[in-house]
Amino acid sequence: MKVRALPIFLSVLFSSLLLFGGWYVFQNQFVKKPITNEIATMKGVKLNDIAIARDVITLNVAFNNPDKFAEDYKRVKKIASEKSNGRAVKIEFDSPNKNLQKIWDENAFAIAEAMELHTYSKIPGVLEQIKKKHKLANVGSHMDDQYVYIYLNDGKNPYYAVLPREREVSRNG
């Protein structure tokens, strides 16, 4: 009995194409496309990119309305979670301004302290201090039962941050 290499090779090639092609079509038609279509209907929200990995879906989003930021964030998270087939959803913000990122990094400790001590009422005061110190055009915060939403604006560029109210507790050992 002679084993023919060509039929075996073609069978493996065809099976691989069918498997990976089907996975690619599923990701695009049943995950990416529905998320993109629903977010496209939202005013003040622009979806820049979706990256789908095996266990997480990462969305890069630009928010344009600071007054509706918390509401829009929750809606984007809900849309992506419903279409994610059980994967975790991670939302990244399109905040390309390095100056605002630097301001946030320098002042994040005061916000983190208020979060850790559960003195959330100090956050607006800290943001006002940041606004005066760095001559920002606008700052804002909003809180719900899960997150604290932070907004900074230097007059041209926005910076958004979402901080979880309850951190995961990790144990060593």
Q: What are the pLDDT tens digits along the chain (173 aa)?
A: 677 888 889 999 989 988 888 888 777 778 899 999 999 999 999 999 999 888 999 999 999 999 999 999 999 999 999 998 889 999 999 877 899 999 999 999 999 999 999 899 999 999 999 999 999 999 999 999 999 999 999 999 999 999 998 765 444 44
Segment holding 134, helix H or strand E: helix 123-134
Residues 115, 85 share a domain: no
Pairing of strands 88-93, 56-63: parallel
Residues 72, 55 share a domain: yes
> Does residue 8 lie in a domain region?
no
Residues 105, 63 share a domain: no
Do 61 and 158 meet the contact criterion of CB atoms below 8 Å apart?
no
Residues 117, 74 share a domain: no
Phi and psi, residue 108, nearest 5°: -65, -25
> Does residue 153 lie in a domain region?
yes
> Does residue 131 lie in a domain region?
yes
45-52 β-sheet, strand order: 45-52, 56-63, 88-93
**What is this structure's pTM?**
0.82
Residues 130, 80 share a domain: no
Residues 124, 83 share a domain: no
Residues 107, 159 share a domain: yes
User: At 67, which CATH number?
Assistant: 3.30.70
> Does residue 1 lie in a domain region?
no
> Does residue 11 lie in a domain region?
no
> Does residue 145 lie in a domain region?
yes
CB count, 10 Å around CB of 115? 19
Q: Count the domains in the chain.
A: 2
**Exposure on the CB side of residue 114, measured as CA atoms within 13 A:** 17
Chosen domain end from 34, 59, 93: 93
Length of the chain: 173
Chosen domain end from 52, 69, 93: 93
Chosen domain end from 93, 116, 131: 93
Residues 127, 88 share a domain: no
* DSSP single-letter state for residue 168: P
> Does residue 134 lie in a domain region?
yes
pLDDT for 167 equals 65
> Does residue 19 lie in a domain region?
no
Residues 47, 29 share a domain: yes
Could you tell me the residue range of the domain that residue 77 belongs to? 24-93
